[in-house]
Each structure stands twice: as C-alpha cells, then as structure tokens.
Amino acid sequence: MKRKSLTLAVWIAFSLTLVLNMLYVKNVRAHNAYTIEWVNHKVEVLQDGSILVNDTIKVAGTPSSFLIGLPYKYGAHVLKCVACSSCNPAQRYAVLTGVPLDGRMGFYGVNVSLNPTPENGIFSVYFVLSNNLLRQDARNTSLFTLDFPAYPSFTVKASSCNASLVLPTDAKYVSGKVSSYNYAVGVELHPFTYEEANVTFLLTTREIQLFTVEELKREITVAANGEIKVSDSYHIRNQSPTELSSIEIALMPNASDLTVEDEFGRKGKTPAIVEKRIGRFYRVELTFAGRTLSLRSGEAAKFIVKYGIPSSFIVRSGKNVEISLQMFQNLRYYVKNVEVTFTFPEGAKVVDLRLNGTSTDIIYGTSREVFLEKAKLWTSGVFLLDSLETKVFYTYSLLWLSFRPSLWAWALATFTCTVIAVWKKLHAKPVAVAVEVPTGAVRLTAETLRSFVNAYEEKKKIMAELKSLEAAVGKGRIPRRRYKVQRKTLETRLATLERSLSELKLRIRSAGGRYADLMHQLEVAETEVNEVEEDIRSIEARHRRGELTLEAYRRLLGEYQRRRERAETTINGILLRLREEAH
C-alpha cells in the first residue's frame, strides 16, 4: 500500500513539472513570437578577399531576441558579427555568437537582443568571414572560387528571400552551385535552412587581392601652427598563391603630400589615386630605393604612408582647442588590430577625449612625457561598417612657440660666455707668486711611524666592526636602537682617527723620498678599495632587481674581490714596511 502511494506521488509530481514546463516554454515562445516577412541576403567579397554577409530582415511582432545562423562549417571562419538598425546604422544591438540554433545540430547560431525594438521591424545582421573561403588558382591567378552560405538559417519560416552575390563589375561568372549572381528572388525559406554554395569567377583586375592587415598604427601629430601630419603604418601578410607587390589602402579624408617609406626609412613611389564609386583609394607600390618588394605567399611586410590633412579639422577658442576627425572610412578590408596616437605641441594639455561611432571595445587614455601629452586608443576587428569620430579637447598657449628659440638662445649665450672666460684665462699674463720652499726634508722619528701604523691598524679594526654591526642588524641579531648607539660611537672614533692619520700622512710625506712614494701608493690602494666596495654594492642591487643573471653576478663579484685583495695586500705591505722601520 505504501509503495502504491509513493508511486502515485512521484507520478503526480512528474506530471505537474511537465505541465509547468510546457506552460513556461509556451509563455516564452508567445513573448518572443514573431514571423519573418522578408529577408535580403547579400554576400559581398571585399578587397582583401574577406566576405561580408549582410542579412536585412523585416519581422512582424515584438521579439526581445532573434536567432539567426549559418551552416556550422562557416562558424570557424567568422571574424566578427554585428547587428544594427537599418534606419540608423549607429544603433548597434548586442549579439551573442556561437549559440545553439534552438537546439539543432549543424548550425552556428547568433542571438540578437532587439532592444530597443527596430523601427518598422527592420534590422540588419552582418557577418565578416575570413578570406580562407576564397581560393585563387595557383596556375591561373585570374580564377577564383568562393565558398559561401547560400541562405541564412532561421528558427521560423521566412515568407520571402532575395539572395545575391556582389562581386567587382569586371568579374565574369564561370560556374557554381548558383546559376547567377542574383540567384534567388522571392523564394520561401523553411525553418533551419541549411545550404552551402560556391561560385567560380574570372577577374583579371586587382580589385580583389588575398591579404590580411595584421596591424594598423596611425600617428596624428598636431603642430603649434595647426598643421596636421598623419603617419599610417601597415603590417600586411600575403595570403594569395601569387606574389604581392602593390596594395590599395584608404587614408583619412582630404589627404595631401603623400610619401611612402618602408620600415627602414627607405623612400618609395608616390601612391597613385584610384577613384571608385565607393570612394577614393591609394595604390601603394612596394618599391623602395629602386628595389621592388614582392611578397610571396605567407610573407609579411611593413610600410608607412605619411601625409597631411587640412587644419580645418581644428577649432580654436582662445587657449581651448578642439580637433575632430573621422578615423575609419571606406575600409574595404578587415584590420585585426588598430592603434591611434594623437601627439600635441609642447605645452599642450589634454582636457577630454570623446568617441562617437559604431566601433566597439575601444580602450583609450592619455600619457605624458616631459613637455608633451599624447592621447591613445586601441581597438580590434575594424571593417567596412565601423565608423569612429574622435574629438580631443586640449588647451595650448601660443607663448610656447618661443620656448625652443629661447632655450637655444640661452644655451648659445652660456656657451659663448664659457668660451670667452676660457680664452681670457689662457691669454692672461702670468703673475709672479712667492712660493716658500723648505730648505730641507723633515726628519722622521720612529715614534711618528709607530703612531701612524697603530692608528691605521685601529682604523681597519673599526671598519671591520662597522661591517660586522651592519650584518648583525641586517639579520636581526641586535635591536635597531642598540645598533644606532654602537654605530654612532664607532663613527666618532673613526672620525678622530682620520684626523690623526691625515696629520701623520702629511708629516711622513714631507720627509720626501721613498716615504712620499709610500704615502702615494697607500692612497692609490685606498681609492681602489673604496671603488671596489662601491662596485660590489652596485652589482648586488642590480642582481636583486633582476638586471644581472646569477652567472654574470658571480663573475663580476669574483673580479671585484680579486681587485680588493690586491689593494689590501698593497696596504698591508706598506704598513709592515713602516712598522719594521719604526723598530
């Protein structure tokens, strides 16, 4: 009976859980209920061979989130995914990539958070796929084969789908799974559509080149007179089977006075202007100092394009200055990493840095040097749709224009005065000076020599006690208070001995002859010991900071100890000789 009751209770609990779960899922689906009226699926090949997939969608309903996907094989090639309002591209929606497509296998899913609700229910989702999906024939380099997703994948039916492939106007269709560039008009898409496609086309122009931009470093230098100089440093890698000797790049608007250099500063040809319907580009020939740099497949190179832009981008109001620039325009290639640096005139102080645009994940800040301030920003994954307007506000006084000339004038005046003073000293007439010369050498007594030797031995003993005291306090064997008292006592005794030794040295040196020579040798040996002690302390500090390896530290320490031993041997020999003469 108890077993039947327990079974009945488990069955009731399981049924209630199942019903509640179904009701919850039904409520969630009702909340996210929507239908897709139409979708425009456009696949475009960019200049570097990367693929831009644009799905513009119109939904009916008010979904808080939206699921879209691609066949799973393309997930490994997704470089970036963004979603935005079709009416206002600057309004970006949060996306979560690599999610399951409603639990179905074989799809690479993306969850788009539609907050706020798109105007008229229309929004766009963009995928940037790597250029590994575009293959260039090694024998016939004009022949390309593109692998791409023919249709987007949804969890609900799309009533109408228009699908097209956008290639350069000179590209000629050869073959493929799709019959033409506009391969679908008004077709109905079933839920979880999974269809891969490919197309082979012929392109004889250089509208498409397989390369990657590993890094773009842009340095914008603002002069005191308002002149703006820009330096774009590119790090590119050739991904095509053919050699790469030129490349088209986009510069900032209204660029002028262009020059090209390689990473070693060798000058190149002036870039040629290429006018296109989508904007102005510049073809950079990789020829420097008369030598053409042809990159083989997989090889990388760096080059720098320097140019000027109008000072009209700068607005002044007294000491307050504002510079407003558009960073990324007409980028028909994908840039992995971007670094932008603003350098201002000496004395300028950055007040504020504002960023407006669609580029995300931007890190920015300021740095200060001696007289300069710089503003920097870093970002990654920049492509065609990323726009960024930077506004930097800084203060600058025109008095700083005279800073460098004044500094040079002061340096020139100082140098001139020094030269005049030296010239006068060299050409001054000599003045006779009466010098008192001793009539004979001072006679030394044995007591003088004995006193000097005893005082020097006492000095050595005090120095040894000071070292022992330092070691003891360093290891915590004696309290700091006791250490200070004992050190003060020893230093007082040492100062008294130093005065006595100085007087005795003078008396011995005055004796002339070999005694003066012995005192000179003693002073040289003492200087050597002091220098060695200082050098040993220096390498110990460098070793603690990690600037010296253990091997280098031991080698230097051994060399310094040998020098100290030689100097101490010299001192002991002099003292022994003087002691013998004192007896």
What the chain holds in terms of domains, given with CATH numbers, is 31-202 (2.60.40), 211-400 (2.60.40.1730), 446-582 (no CATH)
Task: Provide the pLDDT for residue 63.
Answer: 87
Provide the pLDDT for residue 2.
Answer: 52
Q: What is the pLDDT of residue 194?
A: 94
SS (H, E, C) 323-386: EEEECCCCCCCCEEEEEEEEECCCCCEEEEEEEEECCCCCEEEEEECCCCEEEEEEEEEECCCC
* Amino acid sitting at position 493: R
Beta strands in 223-362 (DSSP E): 228-238, 246-249, 256-262, 272-276, 279-285, 287-288, 291-292, 300-309, 314-317, 320-326, 335-343, 349-357
pTM tops 0.75, yes or no: no
**Paired strand residues for 447:** none
Tell me the C-alpha distance between 330 and 385, whole Å: 9
Distance, in Å, from the CA atom of 359 to the CA atom of 399, rounded to the nearest integer, reads 38
How high is the pLDDT of residue 110?
95
Partners of residue 368 on adjacent β-strands: 373
DSSP characters over 52-71 = EEEEEEEEEE--SEEEEEEE
145 vs 175: CA distance, rounded Å: 9
Tokens 């095509």 found at: 240
- 3-class state of residue 403 by DSSP: helix
State the Cα angle at 82 between 81 and 86, rounded to 5°: 140
How would you class 485 by CB atoms within 10 Å of its CB: exposed for 0-12, middle for 13-18, buried for 19 or more?
Answer: exposed
Owner of token pair 């090639």? 77
Measured CA to CA in angstroms, residue 112 lies from 66, 115, 117, 327 at distances of 5, 9, 11, 27
Residue 13's pLDDT is what? Answer: 62
Distance, in Å, from the CA atom of 65 to the CA atom of 191, rounded to the nearest integer, reads: 17
**Rounded Cα gap, residues 170 and 25, in angstroms:** 52
Cα radius of gyration (the chain): 41
φ and ψ at residue 520, rounded to 5 degrees:
-65, -45
Look at the block and give the residue holding tokens 């979880």.
192
- Res 55: pLDDT: 96
Give per-10-residue mean pLDDT for the chain (583 aa).
61 59 43 83 95 95 90 93 86 90 91 90 94 93 95 94 93 92 92 94 92 94 88 94 91 91 88 86 88 88 93 82 85 91 84 75 76 83 84 73 59 76 66 42 73 84 84 80 82 84 82 80 85 83 77 80 86 83 74
Say which residues have a Cβ less than 8 Å from residue 392's Cβ, sequence separation at least 6.
322, 323, 342, 350, 352, 353, 354, 375
Dist CA 34 CA 68 (whole Å)? 13
Contacts of 22 (CB under 8 A, 6+ apart): none
